[in-house]
């Protein structure tokens, strides 16, 4: 397996300290704090460790403080309820004696039911689009660290943008974007693992969608962003080692916050998951 993807899998393997207590390690991906998607994936893994025979169908999380990637994160799971069909879990992430994150997740015994979905947008195939990290070296070195971490070559996922971003000269565009994504190598047939990895990668690009109508991006001087909350709904089985279309739109930005929502489709047009996120979105005068 690709070493960068294998390293991510090792980060998602938590150490069990007690019955409902787990410890996770972090990686420095070039940002000032722990990547929010990592905490989402680890928290979901911790919640899964306390359930059996049920699959996650939704999660709702809040990012409370910046995580320190030089220190381990402790995850405490509360078994809120185990019903006939559904289980509810609450996960608290702790560092340096303080909560940095909390999440509620719901799990369900698989069962048949009514089935419909919205159609997938008509987008070019991922093979026809350049990789996000196909940026000339001279331009890459001029970009802020927050952007360089999105386009670095050692990522466990690859991204292909349907609507490309000119980081040096962003322009006002419609508040939507479509991004093809997938893991960079084949993964084991483990449904739990694929859901945790989908939670991890879902933290990319959402708030960037809220910047598009304002002609700014992560590289714009004075732009300050941070995830505030994140929600996911898992509709159908998913594999993250095959192409997924992340179709995003931003209905609103106000009060120094940007809101975005998204649908995730597999290559066959099946809607596998939905997400929504609100994040801090400030433009500070220089």
- DSSP-assigned states of every residue in 107-119: EE---------PP
Catalytic residue among 87, 95, 202, 227: 227
Strand, coil or helix: 196: helix
Catalytic residue among 106, 203, 263, 274: 203
CA distances from 50 to 13, 44, 102, 242 (A): 14, 10, 16, 28
Query: Treating both helix axes as pointing N-terminal to C-terminal, what angle do 36-48 and 191-201 enclose, rounded to 10 degrees?
Result: 150
Catalytic residue among 42, 195, 263, 277: 277
Q: Among this protein's residues, is 185 annotated catalytic?
A: no
Q: Among this protein's residues, is 203 annotated catalytic?
A: yes
**Residue 174 φ then ψ, to 5°:** -60, 145
| Cβ neighbours, 10 Å, residue 212 | 23
| Cβ neighbours, 10 Å, residue 67 | 22
Q: Among this protein's residues, is 277 annotated catalytic?
A: yes
Distance CA 165, CA 175 (A): 13
Q: Which two tokens stand for residue 240?
A: 């993250």
Residues recognised as catalytic: 203, 227, 277
């Amino acid at each position: 397996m690709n070493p960068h993807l294998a390293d991510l899998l090792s980060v998602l393997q938590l150490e069990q300290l007690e019955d409902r207590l787990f410890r996770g390690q972090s990686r420095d991906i070039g940002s000032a704090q722990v990547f929010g998607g990592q905490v989402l994936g680890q928290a979901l893994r911790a919640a899964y460790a306390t359930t059996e025979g049920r699959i996650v169908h939704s999660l709702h999380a809040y990012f409370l403080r910046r995580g320190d990637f030089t220190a381990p994160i402790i995850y405490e799971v509360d078994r809120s309820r185990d019903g006939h069909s559904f289980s509810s879990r609450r996960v608290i992430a702790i560092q340096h004696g303080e909560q940095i994150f909390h999440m509620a997740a719901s799990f369900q015994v698989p069962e048949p039911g009514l089935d419909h979905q919205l159609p997938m947008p008509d987008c070019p195939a991922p093979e026809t689009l350049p990789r996000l990290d196909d940026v000339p070296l001279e331009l890459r070195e001029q970009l802020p660290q927050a952007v360089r971490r999105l386009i670095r070559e050692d990522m466990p996922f690859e991204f292909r943008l349907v609507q490309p971003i000119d980081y040096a000269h962003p322009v006002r565009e419609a508040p939507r974007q479509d991004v093809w994504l997938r893991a960079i190598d084949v993964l084991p047939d483990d449904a739990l693992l694929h859901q945790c990895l989908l939670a991890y990668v879902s933290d990319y690009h959402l708030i960037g969608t809220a910047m598009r109508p304002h002609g700014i991006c992560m590289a714009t001087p004075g732009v300050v962003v941070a995830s505030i909350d994140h929600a996911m709904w898992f509709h159908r089985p998913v594999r993250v080692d095959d192409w997924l279309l992340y179709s995003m739109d931003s209905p609103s930005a106000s009060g120094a916050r940007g809101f975005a929502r998204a649908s995730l489709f597999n290559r066959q047009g099946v809607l596998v998951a939905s997400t929504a996120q609100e994040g801090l979105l400030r433009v500070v005068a220089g």
